[in-house]
Every structure is written in structure tokens, then in C-alpha cells.
Structure 1
Amino acid sequence: MKRVQHPVRNRLLDALSAHDRGLLAHHAEAYGLEAGEILFEPGQDVLHVYFPGPGSIASLLLDLREGATAEAAMIGQEGAVGGIVSDGNKPAFARGAVQVAGTALRVPIEALEAAKQRSPTLRDHFARYADCLLAQVLQSVACNAVHDLDARLARWLLSTQDRIGGRDLRLTQQFIAEMLGVQRSYASRIIGDLEKKGIIATGRALVTIRDRRRLEGEACECYAYLRRHYQRVLPGVYPMPE
């Protein structure tokens, strides 16, 4: 992780008032994040909050006893990762990992908590985001329990595109399978079906969304539910598709 000098924009922070942004501005440092970089491990005290910039994606990951890894939440420019729900330095339950390289603003937990104490509106803003993050986790639980992989995969691709902001997603099929908690052969078959329908195209470590409207038709209702919840609780924060 290296400091960068250019500005980093984050939609969750941009939605704050100028006064509330000012409470955090002096504590926010911009960093470049590499794919695979670990932000914190389970059991570690979380000392910083990371606010991903456009195109950056981090995930909260859970390690299962049989060796598999499951994604509990995907976080991009609409949110923050690391201690956003707790008050102060609490041990992490999940691993925070960078999935798509980019940039992020990093703020010490102490600075965020002090700002919350000084501003009720800032405190309410982050409480609303915590509600949205919890909604994402709960929706994922229900989705994984009920919906078929083809619908889940379509939902996951749409969510990824929202955060990256373009048609080209630099992802391997192995990575997609790991995030969905399935074997690569299973995920590759579903990806192949979407490609045959002309909805996506694939290349080396690349998935291109060719027909987003049809991809939305392939996805389960969980995608639309979560977007509507964000719009109700934090209007304008969740990135709208192009």
C-alpha cells in the first residue's frame, strides 16, 4: 500500500455536507491498493476505515473450515470498509481484502469516532450506511440459500459493474467462482451460457458486459432490492449504471 498524491473521490463521503467532510478531511490520506492486498485479518483490531475510489473494490471474506472462502459483502465507491459499524477499535470478524485494484481514502478509526461525536448529521449518515451494509449481508444470505447459481452470478456481475463503472471487468473465472463459493467448472458453465446468449463476452482475465438489460433479466430480485434500499436510506450514494 503506497500513498498517492492525486484526489480520490468516494460517493459516501461526497454525500456529506461540506462541514461534515471538513471534520474528516485533515485525517484522510489517499492510498493505492493492489489486488489481493489484505486490509485486516479476523481477530485483528481494526485501526482504519477505507473509502474506496471509483473502480476499486474490497470485500469482506469468511474462511470456511473446509478451505473455501465466501464473500459476505462487496464494497466499492458507494461505501467504506473497516470498523464502520463499531464504535472504536473492535476485532474484525471477517477478512478485509482488496479484490479490484485502485485507490482509497484511509481515515483512522479514532478520527472518525471523534467526528461522529461532534456532528449528529455525520453520525446519522454513517449509521445509515451501516444499515445498507447489513442489508447487503442479509440479502446475500437469503440469495445464497434460495437462488440458483445462474441468477446469483448475474447479480454479482451487475454489482461489480456498478462499482467499477465500465463494461470491461478485469476478472478471472477462478476469482468469480471463489467469490460465489463454487467450483470453477460450475461457474465457467454458467458464464459460457451467458456468453452464448450474447449477454457477456469473455477474454483472458476479462468479462465484458455486452447487454446489461438482459443481464438484469437473468439476475434474481436481490439485486434490485438492495439498490432500492440504498436509494431509500442514502439517496444518490449507490452508483447508477451507465
Structure 2
Amino acid sequence: MRSRASPVPSPRRQRPQERAPEPPRAATRQITQEYLATMLGVQRTTVSGAAGVLKAEGLARHSRGQLEILDCDGLEHRSCECYRAVLQMYDQLLPSDESA
């Protein structure tokens, strides 16, 4: 005799605390490689190469003008020390409401 699986509630009916959590610190942005290259002052091929490295490491994915960061913590770990220095300066200049 085949056992019946219990019905899976639809996401609309689930209470917020029952929903599966989002991947930690993931983010998606609408941005082209061309625009990102312009912002960074580099050639688009440089951005394309860097995007390929980040994709191979499982940190980010870029497709048709959409940049998806898959692992923000991993990306931060992979970045140079200047990223943390910029964050510290940002926090000093623009403290959050919690620390004010």
C-alpha cells in the first residue's frame, strides 16, 4: 500500500517564521558589465574576467545585466583590506541609528 505524503502548504498560507530562510547575505542587482566597468574605470573585458573568477569560486553570478552575489561573506573574505577600511570609515562618518 502506498503511503500518502502530507500536503505541502502553499507559501501564501505559511506564517513568516515557517518560511525557509533566505541564503545568508545574498543580493541581486540590475547592472551591466559595461556600467560596472565605467564605474570602476576599467575595460569591460576586465569586469568579464573578474566575474568569471567569482563565478568559478561560487561567490557571484552575472547574466544579462543582472549581478547576483551568492556569498557576501565569502566575497568580503576574498576582497582586499581596503574594503574593510572603507566600511570602517563609512561607519565613522555615517553611524547607524543603533550606535548613535
How high is the TM-score relative to the length of structure 2?
Answer: 0.64
Give the match's secondary structure for 1:235: coil
| 2:47 equivalent to 1:187 | yes
Moved over 4 A (4+): none
Cα displacement (A) at 1:222: 1.8
C-alpha distance in 2, partners of 1:210/1:197? 10
Q: 1:180-219 CA deviation, whole Å, 9 max, x = no partner? A: 1111112101111101111001211001010011100121
CA distance in 1, matches of 2:71, 2:83: 16
Any gaps of 5 or more consecutive residues in structure 1?
1-165, 238-242
Q: Does 1:218 align with 2:95?
A: no
Letter of the structure 2 residue corresponding to residue 173 of structure 1: Q
Q: Which one-letter code corresponds to 1:221 in the other structure?
A: E
Deviation at 1:232, TM superposition (A): 2.7
Q: How far apart, CA to CA, are the structure 1 residues paired with 2:93 and 2:35?
A: 31
Query: 1:201 corresponds to which residue?
Result: 61
CA displacement 1:20-72 (0-9 Å, x = unmatched): xxxxxxxxxxxxxxxxxxxxxxxxxxxxxxxxxxxxxxxxxxxxxxxxxxxxx
AA in 2 matched with 1:236: S
Q: RMSD in angstroms over aligned alpha carbons?
A: 1.6
Whole-angstrom CA distance in 1 between matches of 2:37 and 2:50? 10
Secondary structure in structure 2 of the residue aligned to 1:186: helix
Per the alignment, residue 230 of structure 1 pairs with 90
Give the equivalent residue in structure 2 for 1:168: 28
Q: CA deviation at 1:233?
A: 3.5
In 2, Cα distance between equivalents of 1:202 and 1:223:
21
3-state SS of 2:58 partner: coil
In the alignment, the residues of structure 1 paired with residue 41 and residue 53 of structure 2 have an alpha-carbon distance, to the nearest angstrom, of 19
Larger radius of gyration: 2
Across the two proteins, how many residue pairs are aligned to each other? 72
5+ long unaligned stretches in structure 2: 1-25
Distance 1:187 1:167 in 2: 18
Q: By how many angstroms is 1:231 displaced?
A: 2.1
Distance 2:76 2:39 in 1: 19
The letter for the 2-side match of 1:176 is L
3-state secondary structure, aligned to 2:61: strand
Task: Give percent identity, aligned residues only.
Answer: 35
Question: Which has more strand, going by share of residues?
Answer: 1
Distance 1:172 1:233, change over 3 A: closer
Higher mean displacement: 189-198 or 214-223: 214-223
| Offset of residue 228 of structure 1 | 1.3
